[in-house]
Structure 1
């Protein structure tokens, strides 16, 4: 997979983008300024970076787990790093992020879209593009609960004829194009 990434800068530290030859992960944190009740000493930027790194690792080293299970694992690992001093029980007080992820899985591209307004565009060499969107609402970014991953939009698209995937403007604050 060849990846080109151009990012419209989100608020400092609230965006994460990483790719390997077989996986792509994009996150956009819910800024703490918009959620003054956040009671985590680590902050949203810390959460976004840790979750992004854990998710990319799971996508590349756990092909036996679905992409939603990889997200749940990454959320659990990140939540465990908080320790007992952060209030993660109340979703309104825990850091959160919108997530876009994709990986090559056998002869398919497996994708995950989670967070209000997030869109992933899959372009075919011939034929129309498939646009996958999560219109779940502003209050639904992934936070400290691994069960949140169950609400993600996921799917598989055959790699045959798939030319590229793109995250249009408005999806995680990034423009990403990966040539498959």
Structure 2
């Protein structure tokens, strides 16, 4: 029997005051919201090829599905995130997509490529749990092998430099944890302008 591979993207409605609030303090809500909207669109386009994965977009808040209608063209299944802290929402989402290995990523890390996701699924053949660390102590990707349950994450200090280490501790099986690429998060004005300076010609 074929094993289904499940890819989940967590995304917020690209509305001012909802997304990238820390970044907005430095560059303004309009620019931060526009950047996030473009980032989500570009991420979906990069992963919008015919892939051997079931693709899900879990969004928040409710009643924002119309803002993501363009995703349906790429065979994405759009669902709403549950309530609770991030760990509870991730566990709920992974439990709702069925059996098989599952990779969940955020939507605000630039330059995530198809090859990174492909490698993550490959790594789940060797590890029960995988993480894609971010430079700020968090993580942009979490993956679990088929049959691996998500633990409770009530003690994780979300949105801090301890988020990854706290989450790893919850699994209580460090020898079965693997890692993929470390990526750069865009949390403040310095991150934003550094990213754009690299993209500018000259």
Please classify the TM superposition score into its range, dividing by the shorter chain length.
0.3 to 0.5
Query: Which has the larger share of helix?
Result: 2
Of structures 1 and 2, the one scoring higher in RCO (CA 8 A, sep 6+) is 1
What is the TM-score of this pair, normalised by structure 2?
0.31
**Structure in which a larger fraction of residues adopt strand:** 1
The TM-score normalised by the length of structure 1 is: 0.33
